[in-house]
Structure 1
Amino acid sequence: MAENGTPALVAFRAENSAYSLNDARKAFAEQLQLSTNDQMLRSKTEVDQLGFAHERYEQYYKGIKVEHASYTLHAKQSAVVSMSGDFERISNLNVTPALTAQSALQAALRFVGAKKYMWQDAAEEAGLKQQDQNPSATYKPQGELVIVENQRAIGSEQLGQPVLAWKFNVYAQQPISRAFIYVDAHTGEVVLQDNIIKHVGATGTFATAYSGTQSSATETATGGYRLRELTRGLGIETYNCKKGNSYTAAVDFIDADNSWTEYNNANFDNAALDAHWGAQSTYDYFKNVLGRNSYNNAGAKIKSYVHFDDTPGGAGYENAYWNGSVMTYGDGATRFRPLTSLDVAAHEIGHAVCSSTANLTYSNESGALNEGFSDIWGAAVEYYKAPAKQTWLIGEDIDKVRPALRSMSNPNAESQPDTYGGTYWYTGTGDNGGVHTNSGVLNHWFYRLTVGGSGTNDKGTTFSVAAIGIDAAAKIAYRTESVYLTASSNYAAARTYSIQSAKDLYGAGSAQEIAVTNAWSAVGVGAAYNTTPPPAAVTYCASKGTSVAYEFIDYVKLGTLVRTSGADAGYYNGTALAAPSIGAGTSQTVSFSAGFTGTAYTEYWKIYIDYNKNGLFTDAGEQIVSGSSSSAATLTGTFTVPATAKSGATRMRLIVSDNTATPSCNSYSYGETEDYTVNITGGAALTGGSLAGTNSLTGGTPLGNEQAKILEVYPNPASNMLHLSLPGNAEAVSVNVLDARGAATMGARYEGNGQLNVAALAKGMYMLTVSDGQKVFHQRFIKE
């Protein structure tokens, strides 16, 4: 389950798939319990190397897109085997904005506070139009109305609540920043900043040792050769910003003889070779190892700009970033050397991969995952191209001050946590909620998964992890990020989805699944793998009444289970309630009743118990009650639990419907379904044979077609004493009298034994509400 109570992953048994891809609407309606205001619209379909088809759907509420909420159907041969994602339960949200997009944009710009924006630079605007081959292209933000969680109301009950917001892509030139800014469409407050340009720590980004001069594809040009090539996707290109901050003013690096040795100079022009070779190496890794064609899986061109500097007087730019379109590298200053090493390229292009897959929001835990996955790709690409280097240190050779920016093998060495919530775990609001600090947990998980090891973490939990190697670990991490994670995923979701990815790739119960689980335990996320295999989870079909406007279930009793209720929107999941015990071979009585909002109609009751725990209610003997009644009083049914019933917890399902043909699964028009857990004791482990049992309907009010039972009052009109007669001659527990306006009146007095003294009431019509402790009855009377 996700933190909001909706399912993060629903897996179906392969031998009995509940849905095909053509049943997407039905699958979402039944498994996510969609309201009439919810819509799921397909955004993309991909087929992976395992033959799985993944259809991703975006959530909309009243036609407005819900940011970071998406759900994916995972299918093989069109049969849905699982579905996963994040679904936001939204109700009563006003989707009419009080602010115009222009007013909201002004609020966003005040929040960013830049001196100059990209759309204010005519050359950059012209360059964008040329790059996109679109004369209408512009950096000026265009407002989009969305629904998003408020992530900035720290300390307020509004934190995490969905709001209607204007979304803007704001690209600032001085100082450099680019982020999605979300402005509350009613209050004008900024509720979320999701950075597109991801900075490394306070001053820089990730890097490892320089790789020296490498062979690298180039392209002929006037004067010799330039750093461009077209053999990888749509191409890889590297440009010289000449210590400026303009992409459009950047020029090619040219070498006369294609031997670039003279670029090792005081100006650090050899940084361009590292950037170019790094981009090619990263492309090769994703293509050759993970089967991904560039960061968007469609061969997108990778552009790199080196010698970028927007500092006053060209003091040296100590950063590298992916700006949502291109790679940007500074030359460094007091902290860093030029930031163009191999794992910097892999790390930053990894951000581009993330934006095209999980699109993890750049704040708090999702932001820490975003950074951590980029570190994983930095390590994986470096190991792929330069295995003799220090794979688990990030930025060790560009950092002039510290041994490294981060250590994946020992995050504590660089003030990062290696345990969720442990030493150095950051809980403040700086650095977008500690995205560069708390990423240490994912980094260390990947390290442990790769090399194994044992010990005790910060929570005092001992662990032992078997190594699976960096190739298998990276494939699991990639599937987790590209298939399962969604924008708002946290560490708990990463654990769930990486375990599922290991099952997909290597099989349930495989050494890889065990190692993934134990590696998460090592970093304090979840328990270690249980070597005692739990019983296979049973998935039950959905059943729900689409309307409870007239009838619903209002009372259920079986042994120690007793529940009185009103309408529950067509379905109530009571499986978490304490389960009553019923012994195999014993006779049991179940009690139940219907509630009516008005006239008591004839209703059809069906009650099931899944005796053999196979997820179905259609086996012989599993329907324990079947019949009809128009009574609002308590009904009972007796049944005998088969001696062959399987011991342990299983499901009981009650259905009341106005249609005799209503089955145990699927939705139906009028009525309600309720599910509960019952515990069978003394039963057998079923290996065959029948579930022969008996059921009969006795006691209480039989399930026939008797007349509806209502509250009777007489005489009506009444002058002094009104006599009340409840169904079954029950005694009234509470009696209330309302006047014609619906207001309570104190002029009447209930004297017991069905006697209501109305002598003090003024003449007129009144509404009487009477309860027998279980049901509530309504009746009008006239005081004369």
Structure 2
Amino acid sequence: MINKYSAATLLLLGGLTSTTLAQDFSRVKSRELDENGMPALIEFRTQGGAYQLSEAKTALREQLQLATDDQLSLLKTETDELGFVHEKYQQFYKGIKVEHGTYSVHARQGRVALLNGHFEKVRSLNTTPSLDAAAALTRALAFVGARTYMWQDAAEEAGLRQQENNAAATYAPKGELVVVKNHRSTNALRAGQPTLAWKFNVYAKAPLSRAFIYVDAHSGEIVLKDDIIKHAAATGTFATKYSGTKTATTDSYNGTFRLRDVSRGSGIQTYNCKKGSSYTAAVDFTDADNSWTEYNNANFDNAALDAHYGAQSTYDYFKNIHGRNSYNNAGAAIKNYVHFDDTPGDGVGYENAFWDGTRMTYGDGATRFDPLTSLDVAAHEIGHAVCSSSANLTYSNESGALNEGFSDIWGACVEYYKDASKATWLIGEDIDKVRPALRSMSNPNAEGQPDTYKGTSWYSGTGDNGGVHYNSGVLNHWFYRLAVGGSGTNDIGSVFSVAGIGIDKAGRIAYRTETVYLTASSNYAAARTGSIQAAKDLYGAGSAEEQAVTNAWFAVGVGAAYGGTTTPPPTTVTYCASKGTSVAYEWIDYVKLGTIARTSAADAGYYNGTATSTSIAAGSSQTISFSAGFASTAYTEYWDIYIDYNQDGDFTDAGETVVTGSSASAATLTGTFTVPTTAKTGATRLRVVLSDASATTSCNSYSYGETEDYTVNITGGATLAPAGVTSLMGGSSLSNSVEQAITVFPNPAADVLNISLASKALVVLAMVTDLRGARVSNARFENGQLHVAGLAKGIYLLTVSDGQKSFHQKFVKE
């Protein structure tokens, strides 16, 4: 249906007159612009000609310079504990909702103090759709490509009608016409542009997914996918799996007790999916005497106690610390579903937990995880629900990283609130069977995340919705620094010092930032602005808390330190171009050195990975791993790897060719080199060149192959140019140095791929990704064998781990 509002409900236009401009100078204290040049935050003077709250619409009209086709409609009004009144408005263009376009008015003592949000400048957009909703839905479903959908399951439909107490309730998507930015187009003229689109809420049952799918109402192109599922009275005695013995609220029913709590909001309910995927078939967990001590069994039923206790703990944290009544601040029921399995009967547990917009769902885990019901995971997933009811951060790129990061923050805060003896700064430490934790807030690099904006391990690709689970490390580390403090030098060379304010104050600032100042499209810059303002609101302008917030952002590479000081950027040098003109036959598909670890398809002959870096010490021995991707036959290729040790902008000095040789192998190759003790301290260029011609140098365009550039940070080195020669890898021939740490056979494989490690160690994890870097789910690993019958034909990358190290190998599914 077309969703339009009557003109009477909308805030209409107004021009910015010369009188308005004069008033603007007397009213506005400061103004911050977003990346599109639109006001992101406007702070007003408290005296003089300040707007009254009754003039909120005038303030918006004048400050945003609304045109004839622009409208803002009041969504809600709230008053907080500081006495602020917050009015949130939704943007419309010609009566059509502008997705992610919201703007807020913040008033105190009857005067408008701040405006902030995201306003999308839309001009000359054709709002008459060429495709109707039915045709657009066909495109959306073809994009999702599920085998079955929730509305096709009669039992799920009946369950929804009962849950909503609405005989007409259905999971079947209904089209809503909106204006949204095109996030997926490869056409430079359309990418990032406001687009008329049909929006559908598509809930797939198999394979499981739920997302808002946006379809261009003219071309039928998919312009955005925004995931909704984000990848986790009586007093009973609980022998939980992860948190020891706890007391928790249950209810007495028909002579027994069940995991239901009516004392918190509209209730907390925990159900048993019985290792199936049906919510309507789920049943209560029950106990005869309300002493739940016999649940430590082979079925991991004690994990249900953690889910129930975790939901109660999370509810209590938000209620007692932030005054929030459940995730939606209106007492919504929290429903948990344990022992969920999206592929029942295959003998492999579901390795995830998620919030689907309605309920919590927990898998039992398999190779990587134990049941995913630990306290921090429960708080993390319910944190997604808090986000969807407040900032509603779009689940992609930087806004998606913030979405994930805030959920990790709430995981840490709830753990600290309920049990300070737990590892507050580790996420998923109770459930991870392979690594110390899923993520580390104190040291994100330890688990492959960045701790600095666009620093080491920053992900700039399209996988993982633009790196939402990777780049959240920056927000995590900001929160850690804000709470704990510390000093040092970050990945981009900034020397920082932060005076920690404790997790309680840090949590209050983070909560106000997310629920008051962020909008759906907020990025890291907006998070910095919002959190500084939140600190001012709570503790005063110029306070120690505001200074700590600002300095913590500087520590993670976002904005200047308090007082505007920044570390002067290092002197930059210009490097020569190096690029293959064709990747039709071969390309670089894997490079690993330290924390640099990139798997890729062809990159049009050159990839600029200088935003990704690793540290190497002067005098240390280093091993670099790399491999070639081939369209078919593995040809003889020439490898040359360079490091500009003296940082003079070229790779021609003695010892700067660290690896050279040839190979006709698609396997992972390795080279070992020693960093000269005379190498210059600081960031410099690492260049990897693959070419079919032996005469290719570090600086030229060549016919077939690819070049990739990265950054290495040399520590403990000299301030002078290096002298001497590094040791080369295994002589002059790469073919003598193929890393045989992993063997797979047969390759190509039709049904089963056998995996073994040269070390004879047990393989504890096997993961398959396609050449885009996207994880493939329909390959099952057990007893040293990878079952690949369900994969489409093609080339895949296999990553296996013995619990300590990871190894990579390509294989072909025939």
Give the TM-score category using the shorter length.
0.5 to 0.7
1:525-555 deviations in Å (ceiling 9; x for gaps): 00000089xxxxxxxxxxxxxxxxxxxxxxx
Corresponding residue for 1:458? 491
1:707-766 deviations in Å (ceiling 9; x for gaps): xxxxxxxxxxxxxxxxxxxxxxxxxxxxxxxxxxxxxxxxxxxxxxxxxxxxxxxxxxxx
Q: List alignment gaps of at least 5 residues for structure 2.
A: 1-32, 233-239, 566-814
Q: Distance in 1 between matches of 2:418 and 2:352?
A: 23
Return the offset for 1:229.
Answer: 1.1
Corresponding residue for 2:452? 419
**1:258-657 alignment to 2 at 5 Å?**
258-314=290-346, 315-530=348-563
- Say if 1:209 and 1:257 are closer, same or farther in 2 by CA, change over 3 A: closer
Corresponding residue for 1:657? none
Is the contact made by 1:164 and 1:186 (CA closer than 8 Å) also made in structure 2?
yes
Is the contact made by 1:225 and 1:254 (CA closer than 8 Å) also made in structure 2?
yes
1:217-270 deviations in Å (ceiling 9; x for gaps): 000112410000111111110000000101110000010000000011110000
Q: Distance in 2 between matches of 1:154 and 1:210?
A: 47
Return the offset for 1:214.
Answer: 1.4
**1:587-736 alignment to 2 at 5 Å?**
none
Match of 1:151 among 176, 183, 200: 183
Q: Distance in 2 between matches of 1:420 and 1:311?
A: 38
| Residue 116 (structure 2) pairs with residue 84 (structure 1) | yes
Q: Distance in 1 between matches of 2:95 and 2:200?
A: 19
Normalising by the residue count of structure 2, what TM-score does the alignment of the two structures yield? 0.64
SS at match of 1:218: strand
Q: Distance in 2 between matches of 1:290 and 1:136?
A: 36
Is the contact made by 1:209 and 1:397 (CA closer than 8 Å) also made in structure 2?
no
Is the contact made by 1:212 and 1:274 (CA closer than 8 Å) also made in structure 2?
no
Q: Distance in 1 between matches of 2:168 and 2:77?
A: 29
1:340-398 deviations in Å (ceiling 9; x for gaps): 00011100000000000000000000000000000000000000001001000111121
Q: Distance in 1 between matches of 2:190 and 2:434?
A: 42
| Residue 126 (structure 2) pairs with residue 94 (structure 1) | yes
Compare CA radii of gyration and give the structure with the larger one.
Answer: 1
Corresponding residue for 1:115? 147
Aligned AA (1:61): Y
Q: Distance in 1 between matches of 2:368 and 2:564?
A: 48
Is the contact made by 2:277 and 2:344 (CA closer than 8 Å) also made in structure 1?
no
Corresponding residue for 2:664? none
Is the contact made by 1:316 and 1:332 (CA closer than 8 Å) also made in structure 2?
yes
SS at match of 1:497: helix
Corresponding residue for 2:174? 142
**1:177-256 alignment to 2 at 5 Å?**
177-199=209-231, 210-256=242-288
Q: Distance in 2 between matches of 1:158 and 1:529?
A: 39
Aligned AA (1:425): W
Q: Distance in 1 between matches of 2:250 and 2:139?
A: 46
1:42-75 deviations in Å (ceiling 9; x for gaps): 0011111101010000000000000001000000
Aligned AA (1:22): S
Is the contact made by 1:209 and 1:342 (CA closer than 8 Å) also made in structure 2?
no
Aligned AA (1:504): D
1:571-600 deviations in Å (ceiling 9; x for gaps): xxxxxxxxxxxxxxxxxxxxxxxxxxxxxx
Aligned AA (2:504): D
Return the offset for 1:21.
Answer: 2.3
SS at match of 2:548: helix
Normalising by the residue count of structure 1, what TM-score does the alignment of the two structures yield? 0.66
1:628-662 deviations in Å (ceiling 9; x for gaps): xxxxxxxxxxxxxxxxxxxxxxxxxxxxxxxxxxx
Q: Distance in 1 between matches of 2:49 and 2:88?
A: 19
Q: Distance in 2 between matches of 1:243 and 1:257?
A: 25
Aligned AA (1:75): A
Is the contact made by 1:17 and 1:80 (CA closer than 8 Å) also made in structure 2?
no
SS at match of 1:387: coil
Is the contact made by 1:166 and 1:184 (CA closer than 8 Å) also made in structure 2?
yes
Is the contact made by 1:279 and 1:346 (CA closer than 8 Å) also made in structure 2?
yes
Is the contact made by 2:528 and 2:558 (CA closer than 8 Å) also made in structure 1?
yes
Corresponding residue for 2:138? 106
SS at match of 1:16: coil
Aligned AA (1:48): D
Return the offset for 1:17.
Answer: 5.1
Q: Distance in 2 between matches of 1:17 and 1:119?
A: 56
SS at match of 1:480: helix
Is the contact made by 1:213 and 1:273 (CA closer than 8 Å) also made in structure 2?
no
SS at match of 1:371: helix
1:302-348 deviations in Å (ceiling 9; x for gaps): 00000000125242100000000000000001110000000111000
| Residue 43 (structure 2) pairs with residue 8 (structure 1) | no
Is the contact made by 2:241 and 2:302 (CA closer than 8 Å) also made in structure 1?
no
Q: Distance in 1 between matches of 2:324 and 2:421?
A: 25
Aligned AA (1:345): A
Return the offset for 1:443.
Answer: 0.1
Q: Distance in 2 between matches of 1:16 and 1:493?
A: 28
Aligned AA (1:281): S
| Residue 159 (structure 2) pairs with residue 127 (structure 1) | yes
Is the contact made by 2:275 and 2:344 (CA closer than 8 Å) also made in structure 1?
no
Aligned AA (2:61): A
Q: Among all aligned residue pairs of Structure 1 and Structure 2, give the percentage whose two residues are the same amino acid.
A: 74
Q: Distance in 1 between matches of 2:502 and 2:188?
A: 45
Q: Distance in 1 between matches of 2:62 and 2:85?
A: 21
Corresponding residue for 1:695? none
Q: Distance in 1 between matches of 2:146 and 2:436?
A: 34
- Say if 1:114 and 1:528 are closer, same or farther in 2 by CA, change over 3 A: same
Q: Distance in 2 between matches of 1:190 and 1:78?
A: 45
Q: Distance in 2 between matches of 1:242 and 1:119?
A: 22
Q: Distance in 2 between matches of 1:476 and 1:66?
A: 29
- Say if 1:525 and 1:531 are closer, same or farther in 2 by CA, change over 3 A: closer
Q: Distance in 2 between matches of 1:464 and 1:281?
A: 34
Aligned AA (1:444): H
Is the contact made by 1:124 and 1:246 (CA closer than 8 Å) also made in structure 2?
yes
| Residue 90 (structure 2) pairs with residue 58 (structure 1) | yes
Aligned AA (1:137): A
- Say if 1:17 and 1:230 are closer, same or farther in 2 by CA, change over 3 A: farther
Return the offset for 1:78.
Answer: 2.3
Aligned AA (2:337): Y
Q: Distance in 1 between matches of 2:113 and 2:160?
A: 43
SS at match of 1:378: helix
Is the contact made by 1:209 and 1:395 (CA closer than 8 Å) also made in structure 2?
no
Aligned AA (1:499): I
